[in-house]
Amino acid sequence: MAKTQSDDVFKALGAHGVVRRGNGIQVIVGLHVPQVRDQLETLIKDSLQTEQTTMTEAVS
């Protein structure tokens, strides 16, 4: 099962292109990089906070 969506999905969301090499993927977003970066950082931060909360609850 693929861990990423197809190139068509990324392009439908506004990506200019997708480059795949081995296990890596690069989604080309053009001038929207700052907005995409902010959204990714928020997602990562929220994910880490959720993981930390889950680990704390498991220990308690």
- Going from the C-alpha of 15 to that of each of 1, 3, 19, the distances in angstroms are 23, 18, 11
pLDDT at position 54, please?
78
Residue 44 lies in a domain: yes
Tell me the residue range of the domain where 35 lies: 7-59
Give, for all 60 residues of the chain, the pLDDT tens digit. Answer: 478 899 999 999 999 999 999 999 999 999 999 999 999 999 999 998 888 887 777 776
Residue 2 lies in a domain: no
The total of structural domains in the chain comes to 1
Q: Is the dihedral of CA 8, 14, 16, 19 positive or negative?
A: negative
Domain annotation covers residue 1: no
pLDDT attached to residue 59: 72
